[in-house]
Protein backbone atom coordinates (compact mmCIF):
# COMPACT_ATOMS: atom_id res chain seq x y z
CA UNK A 1 0.00 0.00 0.00
CA UNK A 2 2.82 2.33 0.81
CA UNK A 3 4.33 1.81 -2.65
CA UNK A 4 0.97 2.41 -4.24
CA UNK A 5 0.60 5.71 -2.39
CA UNK A 6 4.18 6.74 -3.06
CA UNK A 7 3.97 6.11 -6.82
CA UNK A 8 1.51 8.92 -7.58
CA UNK A 9 3.56 11.26 -5.43
CA UNK A 10 6.74 10.34 -7.24
CA UNK A 11 4.97 10.79 -10.57
CA UNK A 12 3.81 14.25 -9.54
CA UNK A 13 7.33 15.10 -8.42
CA UNK A 14 8.79 13.96 -11.70
CA UNK A 15 6.17 15.97 -13.57
CA UNK A 16 7.00 19.07 -11.54
CA UNK A 17 10.71 18.57 -12.19
CA UNK A 18 10.04 18.21 -15.91
CA UNK A 19 7.97 21.41 -15.98
CA UNK A 20 10.64 23.25 -14.05
CA UNK A 21 13.30 21.96 -16.43
CA UNK A 22 11.26 23.08 -19.42
CA UNK A 23 10.79 26.50 -17.89
CA UNK A 24 14.52 26.81 -17.27
CA UNK A 25 15.33 25.70 -20.81
CA UNK A 26 12.73 28.07 -22.24
CA UNK A 27 14.04 30.93 -20.14
CA UNK A 28 17.57 30.12 -21.23
CA UNK A 29 16.45 29.91 -24.88
CA UNK A 30 14.65 33.24 -24.84
CA UNK A 31 17.40 34.78 -22.75
CA UNK A 32 19.97 33.68 -25.34
CA UNK A 33 17.79 34.89 -28.23
CA UNK A 34 17.21 38.28 -26.61
CA UNK A 35 20.91 38.54 -25.92
CA UNK A 36 21.59 37.95 -29.61
CA UNK A 37 18.96 40.51 -30.64
CA UNK A 38 20.37 43.01 -28.15
CA UNK A 39 23.84 42.41 -29.51
CA UNK A 40 22.63 43.00 -33.08
CA UNK A 41 20.90 46.21 -32.01
CA UNK A 42 24.03 47.45 -30.27
CA UNK A 43 26.21 46.66 -33.32
CA UNK A 44 23.74 48.41 -35.62
CA UNK A 45 23.65 51.52 -33.41
CA UNK A 46 27.43 51.67 -33.27
CA UNK A 47 27.68 51.34 -37.06
CA UNK A 48 24.94 53.93 -37.61
CA UNK A 49 26.51 56.46 -35.27
CA UNK A 50 30.02 55.99 -36.60
CA UNK A 51 29.01 56.29 -40.31
CA UNK A 52 28.43 60.09 -40.26
CA UNK A 53 31.71 60.53 -38.43
CA UNK A 54 33.54 58.57 -41.11
CA UNK A 55 31.70 60.47 -43.85
CA UNK A 56 32.46 63.79 -42.18
CA UNK A 57 36.10 62.82 -41.87
CA UNK A 58 36.20 61.89 -45.55
CA UNK A 59 34.55 65.18 -46.50
CA UNK A 60 36.97 67.13 -44.34
CA UNK A 61 39.89 65.31 -45.94
CA UNK A 62 38.52 66.06 -49.41
CA UNK A 63 37.87 69.70 -48.50
CA UNK A 64 41.37 70.01 -47.11
CA UNK A 65 42.83 68.60 -50.30
CA UNK A 66 40.62 70.90 -52.36
CA UNK A 67 41.65 73.84 -50.24
CA UNK A 68 45.29 72.98 -50.82
CA UNK A 69 44.72 72.99 -54.56
CA UNK A 70 42.84 76.27 -54.37
CA UNK A 71 45.66 77.82 -52.39
CA UNK A 72 48.12 76.73 -55.06
CA UNK A 73 45.95 78.05 -57.89
CA UNK A 74 46.63 81.53 -59.14
CA UNK A 75 44.14 84.15 -57.87
CA UNK A 76 41.66 85.63 -60.30
CA UNK A 77 42.97 88.69 -62.05
CA UNK A 78 41.10 91.92 -61.62
CA UNK A 79 39.59 93.70 -64.61
CA UNK A 80 42.60 95.72 -65.70
CA UNK A 81 41.61 96.53 -69.27
CA UNK A 82 42.41 93.80 -71.77
CA UNK A 83 40.69 91.89 -74.54
CA UNK A 84 39.21 88.61 -73.26
CA UNK A 85 37.16 87.41 -76.23
CA UNK A 86 35.82 88.24 -79.69
CA UNK A 87 32.09 88.75 -79.88
CA UNK A 88 31.26 88.73 -83.57
CA UNK A 89 32.36 89.76 -87.06
CA UNK A 90 29.98 91.80 -89.20
CA UNK A 91 30.07 91.69 -93.00
CA UNK A 92 28.05 93.94 -95.28
CA UNK A 93 26.38 91.73 -97.88
CA UNK A 94 26.42 92.70 -101.55
CA UNK A 95 25.20 89.43 -103.10
CA UNK A 96 22.79 87.76 -100.74
CA UNK A 97 22.27 84.39 -102.43
CA UNK A 98 25.97 83.76 -103.02
CA UNK A 99 26.82 84.87 -99.48
CA UNK A 100 24.26 82.58 -97.88
CA UNK A 101 25.46 79.67 -100.00
CA UNK A 102 29.05 80.28 -98.90
CA UNK A 103 28.40 80.59 -95.19
CA UNK A 104 25.63 78.02 -94.85
CA UNK A 105 26.33 75.32 -97.40
CA UNK A 106 30.12 75.53 -97.72
CA UNK A 107 31.32 76.79 -94.35
CA UNK A 108 28.58 75.16 -92.27
CA UNK A 109 27.19 78.20 -90.46
CA UNK A 110 23.64 78.02 -89.14
CA UNK A 111 21.13 80.85 -89.05
CA UNK A 112 20.47 81.76 -85.41
CA UNK A 113 18.21 84.76 -85.83
CA UNK A 114 17.26 87.50 -88.26
CA UNK A 115 16.60 91.08 -87.18
CA UNK A 116 15.51 94.22 -89.03
CA UNK A 117 17.01 97.31 -87.40
CA UNK A 118 15.26 100.63 -86.97
CA UNK A 119 16.68 104.04 -86.23
CA UNK A 120 18.60 106.91 -87.77
CA UNK A 121 21.17 105.65 -90.24
CA UNK A 122 20.17 101.98 -89.85
CA UNK A 123 16.47 102.02 -90.77
CA UNK A 124 15.63 98.88 -92.71
CA UNK A 125 19.03 97.21 -92.20
CA UNK A 126 18.62 93.43 -92.16
CA UNK A 127 21.05 91.43 -89.99
CA UNK A 128 21.35 87.66 -90.14
CA UNK A 129 23.24 86.16 -87.22
CA UNK A 130 25.16 83.07 -88.34
CA UNK A 131 26.93 80.74 -85.93
CA UNK A 132 29.39 77.85 -86.27
CA UNK A 133 30.70 76.54 -82.96
CA UNK A 134 31.73 79.59 -80.97
CA UNK A 135 32.19 81.79 -84.05
CA UNK A 136 29.47 84.34 -84.78
CA UNK A 137 29.16 86.34 -88.02
CA UNK A 138 26.55 88.98 -88.71
CA UNK A 139 25.62 89.15 -92.37
CA UNK A 140 24.27 92.65 -92.78
CA UNK A 141 22.28 94.07 -95.67
CA UNK A 142 22.77 97.85 -95.40
CA UNK A 143 19.82 100.16 -95.10
CA UNK A 144 18.41 100.90 -98.57
CA UNK A 145 19.48 104.54 -98.56
CA UNK A 146 23.11 103.53 -97.84
CA UNK A 147 23.33 100.44 -100.05
CA UNK A 148 25.23 102.30 -102.79
CA UNK A 149 27.98 103.38 -100.39
CA UNK A 150 29.30 99.85 -99.81
CA UNK A 151 32.13 98.89 -102.14
CA UNK A 152 32.63 95.44 -103.66
CA UNK A 153 36.06 94.64 -102.14
CA UNK A 154 38.67 95.97 -99.76
CA UNK A 155 38.12 97.78 -96.50
CA UNK A 156 34.96 99.40 -97.83
CA UNK A 157 33.26 95.99 -97.50
CA UNK A 158 34.52 95.46 -93.99
CA UNK A 159 32.06 96.83 -91.46
CA UNK A 160 33.57 95.97 -88.10
CA UNK A 161 34.58 93.22 -85.72
CA UNK A 162 33.58 93.40 -82.09
CA UNK A 163 35.92 92.59 -79.23
CA UNK A 164 34.69 91.75 -75.74
CA UNK A 165 36.74 93.45 -73.01
CA UNK A 166 36.60 93.14 -69.25
CA UNK A 167 36.91 96.89 -68.65
CA UNK A 168 36.40 99.32 -71.50
CA UNK A 169 37.42 102.53 -69.71
CA UNK A 170 41.23 102.17 -69.53
CA UNK A 171 41.36 100.90 -73.12
CA UNK A 172 39.37 103.79 -74.55
CA UNK A 173 41.33 106.24 -72.41
CA UNK A 174 44.56 104.94 -73.97
CA UNK A 175 43.06 105.11 -77.46
CA UNK A 176 42.09 108.74 -76.97
CA UNK A 177 45.53 109.51 -75.60
CA UNK A 178 47.04 108.00 -78.75
CA UNK A 179 44.87 110.19 -80.96
CA UNK A 180 42.20 107.67 -82.02
CA UNK A 181 38.74 109.09 -82.54
CA UNK A 182 36.02 107.17 -80.75
CA UNK A 183 32.52 106.85 -82.13
CA UNK A 184 30.97 106.85 -78.66
CA UNK A 185 32.59 109.10 -76.06
CA UNK A 186 30.15 107.87 -73.40
CA UNK A 187 31.90 104.48 -73.28
CA UNK A 188 32.14 104.51 -69.48
CA UNK A 189 28.34 104.66 -69.27
CA UNK A 190 27.32 102.67 -72.35
CA UNK A 191 30.09 100.04 -72.16
CA UNK A 192 30.77 100.13 -75.91
CA UNK A 193 32.48 102.19 -78.62
CA UNK A 194 34.06 101.94 -82.07
CA UNK A 195 37.25 103.28 -83.61
CA UNK A 196 39.07 102.96 -86.91
CA UNK A 197 42.39 101.17 -86.84
CA UNK A 198 45.56 102.12 -88.78
CA UNK A 199 44.65 99.84 -91.67
CA UNK A 200 41.15 101.19 -92.05
CA UNK A 201 39.59 98.35 -90.03
CA UNK A 202 36.66 99.29 -87.85
CA UNK A 203 37.01 97.81 -84.39
CA UNK A 204 34.25 97.60 -81.82
CA UNK A 205 34.80 97.26 -78.07
CA UNK A 206 32.14 96.14 -75.62
CA UNK A 207 31.75 94.71 -72.15
CA UNK A 208 28.55 92.96 -73.22
CA UNK A 209 28.72 89.32 -74.27
88 & 139 share domain: yes
Q: Where are the beta strands (DSSP E) in 93-134?
A: 110-116, 126-132
Domain count, the chain: 2
Lowest mean pLDDT segment, chosen from 29-33, 71-75, 160-164: 71-75
Of 28 and 129, more confident: 129
Whether the Cβ atoms of residue 125 and residue 116 lie closer than 8 Å to each other = yes
User: pLDDT digit string (tens) for 154-186?
Assistant: 555 566 888 999 999 999 999 999 999 999 999
**Which of 49, 73, 97 is at the close of a domain?**
73
> Has residue 7 got a pLDDT over 90?
no
**Which of 73, 102, 126 is at the close of a domain?**
73
Whether 78 is in a domain gets the answer no
For residues 15 and 4, give the distance between their C-alpha atoms in angstroms, rounded to a whole number.
17
Q: Name the nearest CA neighbour of 191 among 206, 203, 181.
A: 206
In the structure, what pLDDT confidence band is assigned to residue 79 with cuts at 50, 70 and 90? confident
61 & 115 share domain: no
pTM of the model: 0.49
The boundaries of the domain holding residue 23 are 1-73
Amino acid sequence: MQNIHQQPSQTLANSADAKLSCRIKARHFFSSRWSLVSLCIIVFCIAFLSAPTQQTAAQETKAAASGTKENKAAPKEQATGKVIDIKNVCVHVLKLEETLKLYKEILGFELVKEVTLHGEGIEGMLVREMKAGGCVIHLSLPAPKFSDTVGPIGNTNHNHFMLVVDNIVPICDKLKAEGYELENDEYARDKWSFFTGPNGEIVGLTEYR
